[in-house]
């Protein structure tokens, strides 16, 4: 389970910010709290991040993806990281390392991994774990081999400036390195912009697993989409037709080593109509891409990863959450991670504009609500929690207070119209 995630000098985050899933001691919505008694903390099953456009919310998502890319594989010594993105509005920051830290809890042990890097090298890296609540350093490095601490010093001969030692340790069967690398890569990070990609990925999460497929269909039925089944239909993509519709880079990548066509597939979904008492209710098959609504396609794209997360106790992170869904459906999705529906302690983190989810009376706790806000003087973004505000009670009209600006993190929209250009 994810305990917290910190990032510094990345994108709009000049100063260190932390998204913490550690619950406060408040006795509210306890069905959203996961007890971790051996280390004396409780974790949240979900967290929701709100804020105005261009306030930096999506860079939290992006930082997770960067960390996953960093620990994906070994790099050559001359690698230039394409994801090095320091805060650009400060002369000191623009030449400083990006810092990312993540902490996990698994098998009654806390794990703490951090890494900082420039565009062409790792500046520092450290892994600590806490058996019996006592800190033990697995390894610590500065630059390539400077001031190295750890038991696997024999691997230093294989280490270069751009490869994380975590990757090297995992490749050479270090149990702790392998475990932490797996936990990082097990975070499911979903972008909502490309719905077609979401749908394909959703199918892959449940393929060859009848139980997961059944849960996915069950979820779509419970959410009132009327889908009773789906199948993947093979078809051939014609080279000349694809050239008319695809960007040149995508076209060349697809057809560089192929003939005049490539194999692909479409998703066909089955609906059933008519009374359950009828002998033969009507069934119809629809093409997902051309005959279903954007909302249906989006929900289909979410359900596979959601099922995999709930079954395997993973952390699911969704950017632009609910952008195509009815507010009642987004509430229903968040509720899937409450104790009643979540026996394996999965977690959900969403970045969203769906302010209807700001409901501390009936849905979530105050410590589950986070805001991003950009300083209009220096351009840096801060991240803070609703529970940081003293005097806020769970029965308050929190949504109303947010919309009138009590917690900041809202756009400063002018009262003037587009046609009024005076005093611009």
Q: Note whether 42 and 34 are within 8 A (CB).
A: yes
Q: Which residues of 115-143 are buried (b: 16+ CB within 10 A; e: fewer)?
A: bbbbbebbbbbbbbbbeeeeeeebbbbee
- What is the reported pLDDT for 424? 57
For residue 259, what are the contacts with CB-CB under 8 A and spacing of at least 6?
Answer: 239
Burial of 356 (0-12, 13-18, 19+ CB in 10 A): middle
CB atoms inside a 10 Å sphere around CB 106: 14
For residue 126, what are the contacts with CB-CB under 8 A and spacing of at least 6?
Answer: 112, 113, 114, 115, 137, 139, 140, 141
Return the DSSP state at 22.
B
**Per DSSP, what are the bridge partners of residue 269?**
230, 286
Can you read off the two tokens belonging to residue 410?
Answer: 């809202």
Can you read off the two tokens belonging to residue 387?
Answer: 């529970």
> What residue ranges define each of the domains in the chain, with the CATH number in brackets?
1-187+314-414 (3.40.50), 208-310 (no CATH)
Rounded-to-10 torsion of CA 293, 297, 303, 308: 180
- What is the reported pLDDT for 345? 96
Residue owning tokens 């696997």: 152
Helices within 123-186 (DSSP H only)? 165-171, 175-185
Q: Which residues of 256-269 are buried (b: 16+ CB within 10 A; e: fewer)?
A: eeeeeeeeeeebbb
Report, in angstroms and rounded to the nearest whole number, the Rg of the chain calculated over CA atoms: 24
Can you read off the two tokens belonging to residue 293?
Answer: 């609504």
Helices within 149-267 (DSSP H only)? 165-171, 175-185, 195-206, 210-222, 239-245, 248-255
- What is the reported pLDDT for 99? 98
Residue owning tokens 């919310």: 57
Could you read off the pLDDT tens digit of each residue along the chain, which spans 424 residues?
Answer: 999 999 999 999 999 999 999 999 999 999 999 998 777 889 999 999 999 998 999 999 999 999 999 999 999 999 999 999 999 999 999 999 999 999 999 999 999 999 999 999 999 999 999 998 899 999 999 988 788 999 888 999 999 999 999 999 999 999 999 999 999 999 999 988 788 889 989 999 998 899 999 999 999 999 999 899 999 887 666 677 766 666 676 666 666 665 666 666 789 999 987 665 666 667 899 999 899 999 999 999 999 999 999 999 999 999 999 889 999 999 999 999 999 999 999 999 999 999 999 999 999 999 999 999 999 899 999 999 999 998 888 778 899 999 999 999 988 887 788 888 765 5
Helices within 106-194 (DSSP H only)? 165-171, 175-185
- What is the reported pLDDT for 81? 97
Distance CA 134, CA 132 (A): 5
Alpha carbon distances (Å) from 94 to 12, 18, 67, 137, 375: 11, 21, 19, 30, 18
Q: Note whether 278 and 257 are within 8 A (CB).
A: no
- What is the reported pLDDT for 278? 60
Distance CA 210, CA 341 (A): 19
**Verdict on whether the full-model pTM lies above 0.95:** no
Q: Note whether 346 and 315 are within 8 A (CB).
A: yes
């Amino acid at each position: 389970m994810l305990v917290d995630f910190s990032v510094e000098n990345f994108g709009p985050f000049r100063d260190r910010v932390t998204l913490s899933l550690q619950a406060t001691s408040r006795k509210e919505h306890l069905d959203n709290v996961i007890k971790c008694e051996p280390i004396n903390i409780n974790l949240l099953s979900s967290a929701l991040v709100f804020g105005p456009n261009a306030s930096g919310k999506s860079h939290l998502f992006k930082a997770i993806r960067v960390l996953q890319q960093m620990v994906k594989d070994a790099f050559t010594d001359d690698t230039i990281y394409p994801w090095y993105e320091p805060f650009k509005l400060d002369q000191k920051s623009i030449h400083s390392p990006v810092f990312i830290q993540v902490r996990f809890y698994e098998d009654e042990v806390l794990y703490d991994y951090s890494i900082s890097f420039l565009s062409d090298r790792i500046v520092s890296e450290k892994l600590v774990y806490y058996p019996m609540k006592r800190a033990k350093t697995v390894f610590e490095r500065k630059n390539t081999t400077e001031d190295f601490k750890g038991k696997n010093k024999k691997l230093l001969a294989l280490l270069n400036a751009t490869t994380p030692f975590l990757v090297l340790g995992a490749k050479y069967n270090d149990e702790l390195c392998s475990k932490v690398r797996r936990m990082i890569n097990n975070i499911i990070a979903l972008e909502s912009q490309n719905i077609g990609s979401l749908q394909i990925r959703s199918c892959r999460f449940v393929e060859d697993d009848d139980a997961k497929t059944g849960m996915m269909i069950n979820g779509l039925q419970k959410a009132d989409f009327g889908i009773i089944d789906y199948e993947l239909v093979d078809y051939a993509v014609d080279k000349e037709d694809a050239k008319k519709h695809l960007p040149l880079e995508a076209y060349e990548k697809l057809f560089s080593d192929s003939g005049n066509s490539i194999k692909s597939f479409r998703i066909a979904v089955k609906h059933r109509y008519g009374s359950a008492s009828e002998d033969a209710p009507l069934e119809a098959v629809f093409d997902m891409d051309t005959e279903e609504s954007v909302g249906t396609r989006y929900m289909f794209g979410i359900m596979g990863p959601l099922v995999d997360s709930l079954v395997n106790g993973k952390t699911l992170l969704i950017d632009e959450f609910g952008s195509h869904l009815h507010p009642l459906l987004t509430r229903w999705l968040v509720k899937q991670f409450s104790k009643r529906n979540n026996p394996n302690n999965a977690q959900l983190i969403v970045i969203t504009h769906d302010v209807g989810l700001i409901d501390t009376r009936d849905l979530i706790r105050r410590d589950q609500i986070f805001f991003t806000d950009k300083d209009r003087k220096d351009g840096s973004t801060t991240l803070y929690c609703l529970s940081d505000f003293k005097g806020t009670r769970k029965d308050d009209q929190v949504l109303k207070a947010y919309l009138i600006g009590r917690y900041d993190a809202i756009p400063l929209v002018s009262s003037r119209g587009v046609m009024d250009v005076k005093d611009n």
